[in-house]
A and B are shown apart, each in its own frame.
Chain A
Amino acid sequence: MKPVTFNHAMQLAVLRIGVALTILAKILVEFDQLDMLFSQHGIIQDVLTKPLDVSYALSLPKVIEFFGIRNEHLFLTGLYAVFGLAACFLLFGLYTKISTFICLLIHLMVFNGYNLLAFGFDGFLFTLLFYTLIFPVQKVFSLDQLMSKKVQTIVPERLNLYLRVLQIHLCIVYFTAGFSKLGGQEWMNGTAIWQAINQPQFYTDLTPFVKALASYPWVSALLTWGTLAVELFFPLLIWVKWGKMQAFVLIGVLLMHVFIGAAMGLQMFAWIMIVFDLSAFGGILFKWSNQLFLAIFDRKSNAYEEEISGLNGCRN
């Protein structure tokens, strides 16, 4: 019997490492602009944040007001330094739970305080950080696991449950994205991709090339309906254990995100979606896992490998 569980446990490592790298990339691009983005003297000022403020959510403006912080620049710089440090710890799996909690807390404060500035990317980072906090990501491919004196185990049924949650969530995301486009004229007549690549916001070095291609109606229609098909049928076809169907579907959706990142300049969004895809279904592709660094499983039950390979929808 193949050691199928290692492939799937690897998905938890992908979740942790992918999320940590995303946060580091976010810090890298935002660090120079913190005052403009997230201070009361930036592009979103009191006049906009106050009416949208809600009492139940922890937010950055509320924290600043509560502690009477006068030097917002210093506070934001310090906050992002802590954010970066926690993300580095998360990347290597050192004090994983504490570092995840710090990352989640800072991200939710910024997100709740400045959600007018938020993209889809921020929402997905929030979601994945929450899963990183509640799933045992510290038990796989981490320094916590290497330094632990006790043998750390992941119960196969639990691992299966965690992966199932990620998988169902991802299927809901794609199906909703596809379904909501069904009534749209541009998506139906095949011009949505032409429309999207013509927006100045999505201009990249590849834009002239992609525009030249998509100016042929059949190319634009192919890309538009291809996107629609991937989003609508991914939640169904990813479960079909027929030939290489699952790998084909997963690679299809990964390529769609690579296209979004390269041709439309939405690299951060593309990256977080690739992390989500691989965390949920990456076991289909990970055949090379190094067992030395992976979690030590509860091997009391001889049937656990079959159980996991059968339940979590991945063919090995």
Chain B
Amino acid sequence: MKDKLLKGFLFFHLCIVVLGSGLMKFSDNKVFDGLMLRYSSWTGGGFGYSFFSPNVGNQTVVKTYTLIGHKTLKQDAFGTGRDILDCRFSSVLHTFRNHKAYELMSRVVASYIFAKYPNAGPTYISIGEYMPPTMSEYRLSRKKNQFREICNGTYTYK
């Protein structure tokens, strides 16, 4: 009996893994999605595995230019994989690709900048992506990636 229960549970678990993997689109039913989310939030089964698909695309990067004490311009970048904080921040940036989310994230970045530089003046925040050169351009001249701005804003403390 115990053996059958175990087998039954593991079979059920693997079914959830298949259903949640994104391999097949079964339903847009909210009840179904809710059940899947409930199960995965306790067992870790039922996540999607579609990494870098259908395309790799360009990752979003946030650049900030902050005026410190009316004379020094400090430049920072987020989403460049510098450390774990930056990597995880990138993950948020890539989750939402719309103007409202960019604006919200700009505010979060601005609050981080003002905490980092207590005497900061205005900070210009630029959200964009790096466009790679073509392979032949890189081979010929080691051409660098070009930054293409998607959204920007200027923020001040107070």
Residues of A that sit less than 8 Å from B by CB: 29-30, 33, 36-37, 43-45, 47-48, 54, 56-58, 108, 112, 116-120, 123, 125-130, 158, 161, 165, 168-169, 172-173, 175-177, 179-187, 191-192, 194-196, 198-203, 211, 214-217, 220, 265
Is the pair B59, A201 in contact by a Cβ cutoff of 8 Å? yes
Is the pair A172, B17 in contact by a Cβ cutoff of 8 Å? yes
**A-B pair number, CB within 8 angstroms:** 169
- B90 surroundings in chain A (CB, below 8 A): 201
Q: Which of B18, B38, B54, B95 contacts A116 (CB 8 A)?
A: B95
Q: Which residue of B lies closest to A174 (CB)?
A: B49
Is the pair A198, B81 in contact by a Cβ cutoff of 8 Å? no
> Which of B68-76, B119-127, B130-138, B148-156 is the contact stretch?
B130-138
Among A37, A172, A175, A199, chain B packs the most CB atoms within 10 A around the CB of A199
- B37 surroundings in chain A (CB, below 8 A): 54, 56-57
Is the pair B81, A172 in contact by a Cβ cutoff of 8 Å? no
Is the pair B87, A186 in contact by a Cβ cutoff of 8 Å? no
Is the pair B92, A116 in contact by a Cβ cutoff of 8 Å? yes
Give the interface size bracket for B toward A: 35 or more
**A242 and B13 alpha carbons, distance in the complex (Å):** 31
Is the pair A176, B50 in contact by a Cβ cutoff of 8 Å? yes
Q: Which residue of B lies closest to A104 (CB)?
A: B44
Q: Which of B7, B44, B59, B61 contacts A123 (CB 8 A)?
A: B44
- Is the C-beta of B31 less than 8 angstroms from some C-beta in chain A? no
**A192 and B38 alpha carbons, distance in the complex (Å):** 34
Given contacts A195-B56, A216-B135, A265-B81, contact A116 B10 (CB under 8 A): no
Q: Which of A36, A181, A265 contacts B53 (CB 8 A)?
A: A181
**A202 and B59 alpha carbons, distance in the complex (Å):** 10
- Is the C-beta of B26 less than 8 angstroms from some C-beta in chain A? no
Enumerate B75-89 residues with CB–CB distance to A below 8 Å.
Answer: 77, 79-81, 83-85, 87-89
Is the pair A201, B79 in contact by a Cβ cutoff of 8 Å? yes
